[in-house]
Chains A and B, each alone.
Chain A
Amino acid sequence: MKFNLFVLILTFLCFSCTNNKTSIIKVSTEKNIKIKDSINNNELELIIDPYRKEIKTLEKVIGYSKGFYSIRDSELESTLGNLIADILYKQINTEFKKTESKELDFALFNFGGIRGTLNKGKITQHDLFTIMPWKNSATIVQISGKKVLELVKYIDSENLAHPSAGLEIVFKNNDTTEIKIKQKRFDVSKNYYVLTSNFLQEGGDKMVFFANPIELYSLDLNLREVLIKYIQSKKEIIGKLDNRIIRLK
C-alpha cells in the first residue's frame, strides 16, 4: 500500500515535470499597423493642452518656402541640405568677417542632423524645430589640406547627402576626385576655414578630421536661430540642386 502510494506520487511528480513547462506553440505576426486619424481622447487632450498652449507662439509664420524640400531628394546633395548649408555659410561668414576679419572657405554639416522636411508655403518656427531640433552652435575650424582630403574621403565612403556649401566634389569612375573650394582648385598645401557644428567638431558622426584643429572658434550662435533669423528677413526662400557634390557613373 505504502509502495503504491509512493509510485503514485512519483508518477504524479514525473507527470507534472514533463507537462508543466509552458512553451510558445505559435507566433502570429502581421503587417505593421499605420497609426492615423483618430477620434478624440479627452483624457490625453487634457494632459497635452497646457503644453501645447505654451509652444503655440512657435506657430507664427516667419516666411514662405517656394517648394517642398527634403534631405533625401538626390544622392550626395539635397535641396534642403543645400539650402540650410548655404544660409548658414552666408550668415556666419558675415559674423566671422566682422569679429575675426577672416573668411570661411566652406561648410560641412551632417545628413543625420536634418530631421524634417520643409513644406511648400508658410514656414513656422515649429517647422525649424522639427528640421533642426538640436542645441548645436556654430563652430569654425581651420584644418590642413590633408585633413580636407580625409573629409572628402569620408563623404565618399559615407555616400550620404551631408549638407555642404562652398565645396564642390566630382567623384570620377576612374578613382580620381576633382575638388574645388570657393570655385578655386583645392590645394593640399593650404589650410582651410571650415564651418561646422560643435557636435561634429567634437567627433560627432565620426567626423574625426575636425578634431584638434589648427584654429578653433566656438561661436555663441545656435544654428537653428541663425536659420530662423534669415528666413524672417526674406520674402521667400528657394532650395535647389546644383551638382555641388556628384559621383560620375
Chain B
Amino acid sequence: MKRRHFLKKIKFSSIYGLTLPYFINDDYFDNSLKKITILHTNDVHSHIDPFPKNDPLNPNGGGVIARANLINLIKKDNPHTLVLDAGDVFQGTPYFNFFGGELELKLMSKMGYNASTLGNHEFDNGMEKLSKVLKHANFSFLNSNYTLKNTPLENKIKSHEIFNINGIKIGVFGLGIELEGLVEKKLYKGVKYLNPIEISKDISDDLKYNHNCDLIICLSHLGFSYSKDKNIMCDLILAKQTKNIDLIIGGHTHTFLDEPIKVKNLENKDVIINQVGCFGINLGKIDFYFSENKKHQEGMSIDV
C-alpha cells in the first residue's frame, strides 16, 4: 500500500513536470524537511504588456499576465514561496512616463511580491515622487547602503526584512549601486552611497546571529560583473568578500544567466548568484530544503 502511494506520488510529480528530487530517497518520508521556493525578477523596466508577436528577439515574451499566472502555478505547488525583485522596476515603457510607476507597483502587489530593492531608475522622477508612488506597493523596497536621512525617502525604505514562512526565518536585505554617473544629481540629492561589503557583513551577521535567520538573501542592484574593470563592485565581488549570504539575487547589468551560479565566499562556503536578464522575460526559481535533523545537515548539497 505504501509503495503504491509512493508510485502514485511520482506519477503526480511527472505530470506537472515538477522535479522534486527528494521523492526518490528516504527524505520523502521525513516530515521534518521543509521546502521554501524563491521566485525572482529584475530590471523589468515597466514592461507590463508582452513583446509583440512579430518581435524578432522575444516574440510574445514577458508580460505581467503571463508572469502572474506562472507565479500562481508555482505557488499552488508550494505555498511556501517568496517572490522577490532586484530593482529597476521603473522606466522603459510609456506606462512609466504617463503614470510614474503607479501601475507597476499595483500589479506587483497583486502578483504577491514580498520585496524589491531600489534600482537607479527608481530615482528617475526624483525622490519626492518616488516616496509618493510607493503607497501603491503593499511590499517594501529594501536598501541598506544609501543614507536617506533628511531626504523624502527617510523612513520609507527599510534596510532589511525578516519573513517567517512555515517556521523558516528568511532575512532579506537590499543593496544599491553608486548613483553618480547613472542618475542626474538633483534627483538623488542628499543620498550617500556606502560600501556594500561592510554593510553586508554587518547586516548578514545581525540577521544570522541576532535574529537566527535560517536563510539570508541579498537583493542587489550592483550588477553581475563588469568586463571593462574587474574591480568595480559587483555581485561576484560581493559574494567572495562576505560570509553568511546564501543567495544573491542580482540586477542592473541585464545579465541573462542560463541558470544560477555558485561562488565560494570568505569562509569557502557556497553562495548562489542569479540574474534573469531584463524586461520580465524570464523568472528565476530556486528551492531551498531545510531540516532540523542533524543527519540531514551533514549531507548538505547544492545542485547547481
Partner of B184, one of A31, A34, A41, A204: A204
Question: In the complex, which residues 172-203 of chain A have their Cβ closer than 8 Å to any Cβ of chain B?
Answer: 198-199, 202-203
A interface residues, tally (CB under 8 Å): 55
| A130-B92 in contact (CB<8A) | yes
| A25-B296 in contact (CB<8A) | yes
For the complex formed, measure the closest distance between the CB of A187 and the CB atoms of chain B, giving whole angstroms: 30
Partner of A55, one of B70, B98, B184, B282: B98
Question: In the complex, which residues 39-90 of chain B have their Cβ closer than 8 Å to any Cβ of chain A?
Answer: 45-46, 48-50, 52, 54-57, 60-70
| A55-B180 in contact (CB<8A) | no
| A27-B257 in contact (CB<8A) | no
| A44-B110 in contact (CB<8A) | yes
| A32-B274 in contact (CB<8A) | yes
| A48-B48 in contact (CB<8A) | yes
Pick the most buried of B46, B280, B288: most chain A CB atoms within 10 A of its CB: B288
| B290-A25 in contact (CB<8A) | yes
Interface residues on B, range: 35 or more
Residue-by-residue, is A1-36 near B (CB-CB < 8 Å gives 1, otherwise 0)? 000000000000000001111111111111111111
| A203-B93 in contact (CB<8A) | no
Complex Cα distance, B33 from A176, in Å, reads 65
A230 within 8 A of B: no
B272 within 8 A of A: yes
Pick the most buried of B49, B97, B258, B286: most chain A CB atoms within 10 A of its CB: B97
Complex Cα distance, B257 from A134, in Å, reads 27
List of B residues within 8 angstroms of A135 by Cβ: 124
| B184-A25 in contact (CB<8A) | no
| A26-B22 in contact (CB<8A) | yes
| A202-B184 in contact (CB<8A) | yes
Given contacts A32-B284, A33-B285, A38-B66, contact A21 B304 (CB under 8 A): no
List of A residues within 8 angstroms of B284 by Cβ: 32-33
A75 within 8 A of B: no
| A25-B291 in contact (CB<8A) | yes
Given contacts A48-B107, A133-B91, contact A20 B287 (CB under 8 A): no
| A18-B184 in contact (CB<8A) | no
List of A residues within 8 angstroms of B48 by Cβ: 48
A54 within 8 A of B: yes
Complex Cα distance, B244 from A24, in Å, reads 12
Complex Cα distance, B38 from A29, in Å, reads 10
Secondary structure type dominating chain B contacts: mixed
Complex Cα distance, B72 from A43, in Å, reads 13
For the complex formed, measure the closest distance between the CB of B246 and the CB atoms of chain A, giving whole angstroms: 7
List of A residues within 8 angstroms of B64 by Cβ: 44, 48
| A26-B300 in contact (CB<8A) | yes
| B66-A27 in contact (CB<8A) | no
| B181-A68 in contact (CB<8A) | no
A119 within 8 A of B: yes
| A28-B291 in contact (CB<8A) | no
| B95-A25 in contact (CB<8A) | no
| A133-B55 in contact (CB<8A) | no
Given contacts A29-B260, A38-B66, A117-B57, contact A129 B110 (CB under 8 A): no
| A22-B292 in contact (CB<8A) | yes
List of A residues within 8 angstroms of B146 by Cβ: none
Complex Cα distance, B96 from A47, in Å, reads 15
Complex Cα distance, B92 from A47, in Å, reads 19
List of B residues within 8 angstroms of A125 by Cβ: 94
Q: Which residue of B lies closest to A23 (CB)?
A: B297
State the B residues within 8 Å of A (CB): 19, 21-22, 33-34, 45-46, 48-50, 52, 54-57, 60-70, 91-99, 103, 106-107, 110-111, 124, 167-168, 180-182, 184-185, 214-215, 228, 246, 256-260, 272, 274, 276-277, 280-294, 296-297, 299-304
Additional 8 contacts, C-beta under 8 A, given A159-B228, A202-B185: A22-B214, A23-B290, A25-B296, A29-B259, A32-B258, A32-B282, A40-B65, A133-B46
The 14 listed contacts between A and B (C-beta, < 8 Å) are A19-B294, A23-B300, A24-B289, A25-B291, A26-B288, A26-B303, A28-B21, A29-B272, A33-B283, A44-B65, A55-B98, A119-B56, A130-B94, A135-B124
